[in-house]
Chains A and B, each alone.
Chain A
């Protein structure tokens, strides 16, 4: 099942992010390649969420350089728009728009940003809802859906912009155990279809079967990286061993 990994699509060099005096990222350097699925691991407060949020500038980085698909992320608004149109994001708390129907949640950005007509956007949305398995919920409001269904809508919403890269920020952490599976199935399908994905997750079963590479964060730095096999069989760093022994 090993798929072909393409050329470099994200490169982060020495990225530093500070919140006041606290440095959440202390110089992170990483490269992500096309069609690669990267799982980001690490204890809470290690900077893993902050790192993926710098990739679409939800958190502006203080220094260092981030290039996404050939476009550098900086204060230039045009660059930012190019990057964001290539990067979709799924949040821990879903962040669906509660006052809009499921369908409208998905069609909004394609209509407003990409200029699709209502009918075109509806077609895109319905085919995505089919893909995540809940086309019958299109006319409902987010609050009428279960957590797992909401997160699948959120994935469909991000996919509607046809991004090249998908970021997942702990997508299953706010879900009840019986709903985690349905979301992971969608994510697995997405990974197999060749999407470039960066996932912050604690779902080790999923990570092990889908990921091409792990990044292990601690205290704002990438401490260790490698294939899943490397991590599960012989991790080098003490901190990695400790972390893995705690979550497995």
Chain B
């Protein structure tokens, strides 16, 4: 094999063809060069002047909000538990490519780099061990006969994750729930909304697609009402109005603001997911329903085994997109006087005179945290799509 020689004439021709081929081309080249140079200098001048102390001092606030210092330890078991289930699942189901593992590593390293602190070096070390051991472990178990057991127990662990996280936050006289905050709060709110909103959304979508007039109308009214008002309005309603409507039993009318936010977000998510899934339901060819009818399958089996799996598969990208949107919408709970990540990022530069004017640094870190989770989610969705692609028509 001969190494190809660099052909300068070719490079010159290519450059001229692509950048200076016509009058319009020259104009566009000039214009975009100016833009790129401008932005690069702006970014560099910002980075050279940026001081990240505002972030490094307020690490705990950003991640946990007003959670009292003596309760900080509660965050770690939750994180480890998540890490364990997440990494085991990758080992059990996924065949991650190197590129994807690299992305995951980056997604893990970036927040670690921002929030690194010597106090927690042991904890971070633990995380890495738990992550890699559970990944490798489940990869090995997957090849044995226990593969089914592993997958089943992982699924139940995913379902149990939220109740477990709550109990870790509560046991032994945990802090009041309205002190939960920071990124932890965003993640908790979003997970509850997804886990509760998704099944409810499926029910609403199926309900709206039936021919039974009462169910159809109920579901339609529900969906259109919930979608008809802004999320902020629903959150405010939950704050002011909900206590008045709930009966004064078992302290129902005093439920914490966090729980109310979770309820509102779940309902809100379900309405949007319902419409997405209804779109999927309409994409199922009528022949599938006829075949199920001809086989005498009951309505529930027909929906559960034939229609919904196919319908949901079609709309996975749209559903994940809803989840990502919902995740970022959780930052609206600042309206209920909760301190989520964005709210912390907004407040911290104002609390100390020496941080005045350091909003950009704080907000950049906030944005990057949201970004990491969103990117991991969207990668996960394309992964699931590919895995489910086996039986497509």
Interface size on A, residues (CB 8 A): 27
Which residue of chain B has its CB nearest to the CB of A100?
B391
Find chain B residues with CB under 8 A from A87 CB: 294
A135 to chain B, nearest CB (A): 20
State whether A99 touches B296 (Cβ < 8 A): no
Which A residues touch B309, using CB under 8 A? 99
Stretch at the interface among A61-69, A106-114, A175-183, A231-239: A106-114
Identify the stretch in B20-28, B162-170, B245-253, B298-306 within 8 Å (CB) of chain A at 4 or more residues. Answer: B298-306
CA distance A220 to B296 in the complex (A): 27
A213 within 8 A of B: no
Q: For residue A219, give the distance in angstroms from its CB to the closest CB of chain B.
A: 25
Q: Is A85 an interface residue (CB 8 A)?
A: yes
Residue of B nearest to A140 (CB): B391
Q: Which residues of A contact B296 (CB under 8 A)?
A: 81, 84-85, 109, 113, 161
| A171 CB–B CB distance under 8 Å | no
Which residues of chain A are near B393, meaning CB under 8 Å? 98, 142-143
Residues of chain B with a CB closer than 8 A to A113's CB: 295-298
B292-338 interface with A by 8 A CB criterion: 293-298, 301, 305-306, 309-310, 313
Q: Do the beta carbons of B294 and A158 come within 8 Å of each other?
A: yes
Contacts of B160 in A (CB 8 A): none
**Residue among B287, B297, B392 making CB contact with A109, cutoff 8 Å:** B297
Q: How far is the CA of A91 from the CA of B295 in the complex (A)?
A: 12
Whether the pair A109, B391 counts as a contact (CB closer than 8 A) is: no
Contact of B293 with A58 in the complex, beta carbons under 8 Å? yes
- Check if A108 sits within 8 Å of B305, measured CB to CB: yes
Contact flags B369-393 to A (C-beta < 8 A → 1, else 0): 0000000000000000000101111
Chain A nearest CB: distance from B74 CB in Å?
42
In the docked arrangement, what's the CA distance between A157 and B296, Å? 12
Complex interface residues of chain A between 142 and 163 (CB less than 8 A to chain B): 142-143, 157-158, 161
Q: Which of B354-374 contact A (CB under 8 A)?
A: none
Give Cα A100–Cα B285 distance, bound, in whole angstroms.
16
Task: Among B293, B294, B306, find the residue whose CB has the most chain A CB atoms closer than 10 A.
Answer: B294
Query: Is A47 in the interface zone, CB < 8 Å from B?
Result: no
What chain A residues lie within 8 Å of B306 (beta carbons)? 97
**CA of A30 to CA of B200 in the docked complex: distance in angstroms?**
48
Residue pair B295, A108 in contact (C-beta under 8 Å): yes
Q: Assess the A95–B288 pair: CB atoms within 8 A.
A: yes
Q: Is the CB of B291 within 8 A of A97?
A: yes
A113 to B392, CA, bound (A): 25
Q: Provided the pairs A141-B390, A142-B393 are in contact, do residues A91 and B298 lie with their beta carbons within 8 angstroms?
A: no
Instruction: Encode A87-98 as 1/0 by CB contact (under 8 A) with B.
Output: 111010101111
- Distance between Cα atoms of A112 and B305 in the complex (Å): 10
Closest to A86 in B: B296
B293 engages A84 (CB within 8 Å):
yes
Chain A residue nearest to B304 in the complex (CB): A112
- Bitwise interface map of B from 99 to 141 toward A, beta carbon under 8 Å scored 1, else 0: 0000000000000000000000000000000000000000000
In Å, the complex CA distance between A201 and B300 comes to 33
Q: How far is the CB of B295 from chain A (nearest CB, A)?
A: 4
Q: Is B69 an interface residue (CB 8 A)?
A: no
Q: Is B352 an interface residue (CB 8 A)?
A: no
Task: Give A87 to B290 CA distance when docked, in angstroms.
Answer: 13
Is the contact region of chain B dominated by helix, strand, or loop, or is it mixed?
Answer: helix
B392/A143 in contact, CB under 8 A: yes
Annotate A177-208 by CB proximity to B: 1 below 8 A, 0 otherwise.
Answer: 00000000000000000000000000000000
Which residues 22-49 in A have Cβ within 8 Å of B in the complex? none
Mark interface residues in A109-124 (1 if CB within 8 Å of B CB, else 0): 1001100000000000
Contact of B294 among A56, A100, A112 (CB under 8 A): A56
With A89-B294, A108-B295 in contact, is A98–B301 under 8 Å at CB?
no
Docked pose: A114 CA to B294 CA in angstroms: 14
Smallest beta-carbon distance A226→chain B, Å: 29
Least CB distance from A147 to B in Å reads 12
Residues of chain A within 8 A (CB-CB) of B391 are: 98-101, 141-143
Closest to A83 in B: B296
Q: How far is the CB of A31 from chain B (nearest CB, A)?
A: 22
CB distance from A195 to the nearest CB of B (A): 16
Nearest A residue to B287, CB-CB: A95
Q: Once bound together, how far apart are the Cα atoms of A57 and B97, in whole Å?
A: 50
- Whether the pair B290, A58 counts as a contact (CB closer than 8 A) is yes
Inter-chain contact A99/B310, CB cutoff 8 Å? yes
A56 CB to nearest chain B CB (Å): 6
Task: Find residues 44-82 in chain A having any chain B CB closer than 8 Å to their own CB.
Answer: 56, 58, 81
Cβ contacts under 8 Å, B298 to chain A: 112-113
Given contacts A97-B306, A99-B313, A143-B391, contact A91 B287 (CB under 8 A): yes
Query: Given A85-B296, A143-B392, A98 and B290 touching (CB < 8 A)?
Result: no
Question: Would you call B390 and A95 a contact (CB within 8 A)?
Answer: no
Tell me the bound Cα distance from A95 to B295 in angstroms. Answer: 11
B293 — nearest CB in chain A belongs to which residue?
Answer: A58
- 22 inter-chain pairs at a CB distance below 8 angstroms, sorted by A residue, are A84-B293, A89-B290, A91-B287, A91-B290, A93-B285, A95-B288, A96-B291, A97-B310, A98-B393, A99-B310, A100-B305, A100-B391, A101-B391, A108-B297, A108-B305, A112-B297, A113-B296, A113-B297, A141-B390, A142-B393, A158-B295, A161-B295
Closest 4 CB pairs of A and B: A95-B291, A109-B295, A95-B287, A89-B294
Which residues from chain B sit less than 8 Å from chain A, CB to CB?
285, 287-288, 290-291, 293-298, 301, 305-306, 309-310, 313, 388, 390-393
**What is the interface of chain A, defined by CB distance below 8 A to chain B?**
56, 58, 81, 84-85, 87-89, 91, 93, 95-101, 108-109, 112-113, 141-143, 157-158, 161
Known contacts A58-B294, A109-B295, A112-B301; 12 additional CB pairs below 8 A are A89-B290, A93-B285, A93-B287, A95-B285, A95-B288, A97-B306, A99-B309, A99-B313, A112-B297, A112-B298, A141-B390, A141-B391
